[in-house]
Structure 1
């Protein structure tokens, strides 16, 4: 009997050579909570194993002061049905607290899944780079430079 305990949340997948290597994350979330807008960026694959994290992050954002939550989905490469459920639930949570949700630049795969499920029209979708300001005034344009914006 071994004294070695399993490490939960870390799986080892054999490489082509047969040597194990730890799984790489399949989704990244970045949250920038401001006073006017909370911006959440989602990159990678959204599936059964991680879609709930989006909903949990939005639920946490409700405790902040920002009346607007923007979820940037431009970097999503896979979007399963659980991703759709997570966004629908996130919208319910936000509207229940008098907040607004915008899906910013959904990738083609996100747009396709939301379209097929009939939920795309339930969301406010913004495809342009500059987002609307909270008070209805136009947002400050972002001018790309060599070093970012």
Structure 2
């Protein structure tokens, strides 16, 4: 975590927890845990939109803790990737849980996203 962020921000809404942190001012990480679906995606969308507005060099959405993702959750990630690209931000997904990895594979979107599986890759993302 960077020195400017004393603690991660967290919001909980119906089973989804959103945590935001910034690494060295160049990398923003939005960690999601719980179910990412139509009823719970609002806090994730708000956090990701806010991070895109800050224009970090790299935006990483860590989905290791996501236990369920429906089509609206997947659509949120796809729209975030497009919005980030439009701002010149390198968008990456990190640590997809087995459930989410399966959704990405079935829908073919695993080839659309840059996926980080290595824990240190999030920090190295800023140097790319």
Q: State the TM-score, normalized to the length of structure 1.
A: 0.70
Identify the residue that residue 56 of structure 1 maps to in structure 2. Answer: 46
Indicate if the aligned counterparts of 1:52 and 1:86 stay in contact, CA closer than 8 A.
Answer: no
Does the residue aligned with 2:126 lie in a helix, a strand or coil?
coil
**Which stretch of the first structure deviates more once superposed, 30-39 or 99-108?**
30-39
Q: How far apart in 2 are the matches of 1:30 and 1:43? A: 9
- Stretches of structure 2 that go unaligned for 5 or more consecutive residues are 1-12
Instruction: Choose from 31, 49, 53 the match for 1:41.
Output: 31
Which one has a larger percent helix, Structure 1 or Structure 2? 2
CA apart distance, 1:58:
1.5
- How far is 1:65 from its partner? 4.3
Which structure carries more relative contact order (alpha carbon 8 Å, separation 6+)?
A: 2
Structure 1's unaligned 5+ residue stretches are: 1-23, 137-149
Aligned equivalent of 2:77: 87
- Give the alignment's TM-score, normalised by structure 2: 0.81
> Which stretches of structure 1, 4 residues or longer, exceed 4 Å deviation after superposition?
none
Alpha-carbon RMSD: 1.5
How do 1:1-149 and structure 2 match up within 5 A? 25-34=14-23, 35-131=25-121, 132-136=124-128
